Amino acid sequence: MHRQGGRACFTWLAPCLALALFLGGLPGCASRQDTQLPPPRKYSGPGPGETPPPAPGKSGKVPGTQRPYTIQGKTYRPLPSAEGYHERGIASWYGPNFHGKRTSNGEQYNMESLTAAHKTLPMDTWVEVTNQENGRQLVLRINDRGPFVDGRIIDLSKAAARDLGVLGKGTALVEVKALGYRQMGTGVAGKPAVYVPPPSYDTGTFTVQVGAFTNTANAQRLAAKLRPQWGTVSVVRYDRGDAVFHRVWVGKVSRLEEAKALQERLRAAGQDKAFAVAW
């Protein structure tokens, strides 16, 4: 798991992590703005080392990369499925400081491979990333977690940033669309790769977390305050191992987009710690 959000040589700092679910800054080691961009690359089929492992969940167990994880007190809950994921937001990139280190799925990070980090998509999901500022498009595989900076939705490898025209600038507005898993044993040079939708790990819905308290009375107090305006408000107990938290969840919806819209309404109403989670 990398601890940086798009500043390729910038030290990861805790203040950058506060209150973020999903803004700009130049990468510290990008010393110049690229004036000539290389032509974009697109995959035409799996090559050596490109085939992902079998779709997770076949053993009946939830992979470790699908379990909730906490960074500086903020808990992230991976999506049960990538199906239907489609989002616009800020992309950043990370490189030299993490080259050769382990990614969240256990691989060795290679900044010259076409990969990316995402906070909640299932590992080995392939995504289509389109730079909204220049129209460049690329297919990447998610193999890491991040970026943990407010306003950013994906962290690109150095190679991906270069091909998408993000390297010199540091960040860009992008559109990210989940394709699924690349089907094992298929793909012919010069022909598009074939993808299969990733399986769901459970059938849950989505909600918005507005707070987490070790004191249950504080959680219940906030829930009671919110119910008259927001309707469905739940207090959910969570044992992290080293401490027990009482999470305050608002709403219960069936689509991630609805949860994000509710998140923004709650933030506008003063609940600036609100973020969408899988139920």
**Structure confidence at residue 82 (pLDDT):** 81
Buried b (16+ CB within 10 A) or exposed e, 60-79: eeebebbeebebeebbbbbb
Peptide bond into 48 cis (omega under 30): no
* Range in 36-45, 81-90, 142-151, 218-227 the model is least confident about: 36-45
What is the per-residue pLDDT for 238?
Answer: 78
Q: Taking 60 as the threshold, does the pLDDT of residue 145 lie above it?
A: yes
Q: What is the C-alpha separation between 42 and 139, in angstroms, rounded?
A: 6
Whether residue 27 has pLDDT greater than 90: no
d(CA 172, CA 83): 24
Average pLDDT over residues 146-161: 92
Answer whether residue 187 shows pLDDT above 60: no
How big is the CA angle at 124 (ends 118 and 129), to the nearest 5 degrees?
55
Give me the chain's average pLDDT, please.
Answer: 74
pLDDT at position 8 is 36
Lowest mean pLDDT among 151-160, 213-222, 243-252: 243-252
Q: Under CATH, what is the fold of the domain 14-29+66-196?
A: Barwin-like endoglucanases (2.40.40)
Distances from the Cα of 61 to the Cα of 54, 58, 65, 208, 213, angstroms:
13, 7, 11, 26, 29
Cβ-Cβ contacts under 8 Å for 257 (sequence gap 6 or more): none
Query: Is a pLDDT exceeding 70 seen at residue 193?
Result: no
In this predicted model, what pLDDT tens digit does every residue of 76-124 receive, in sequence order?
888 877 877 888 899 999 988 889 898 988 889 999 999 999 999 988 8
On the question of pLDDT at 74 being above 70, the answer is: yes
> For the chain, what are the domain ranges?
14-29+66-196, 206-278
How far does the chain reach from its first CA to its final CA, in angstroms?
A: 23
Strand-strand pairing, 152-156 and 86-93: parallel
Spell out the alpha helix ranges (H) of the chain.
158-164, 216-230, 256-268
Q: Of 107, 75, 112, 82, which Cα lies nearest the Cα of 2?
A: 107
Would you identify the CATH topology of the domain 206-278?
Alpha-Beta Plaits (3.30.70)
pLDDT at 142 over 90: yes
> Taking a C-beta distance cutoff of 8 angstroms, is the pair 147, 117 a contact?
yes
Who has greater pLDDT, 152 or 26? 152
For the chain, what's the residue count? 279
Going by pLDDT thresholds of 50, 70 and 90, the confidence category of residue 174 is very high
pLDDT value, residue 2? 59
Q: Which of 204 and 158 is assigned the larger pLDDT? A: 158
Min mean pLDDT across 32-36, 50-54, 134-138, 174-178 is at 32-36
pLDDT at 243 over 50: yes
In eight-state DSSP terms, residue 242 is: S
pLDDT at residue number 54? 38
* pLDDT of 273 higher than 60: yes
pLDDT for 240: 63
Residue 180: CB atoms within 10 A of its CB come to: 20
Position 156 scores a pLDDT of 97
With a CB cutoff of 8 Å and minimum separation 6, the contacts of 224 are: none
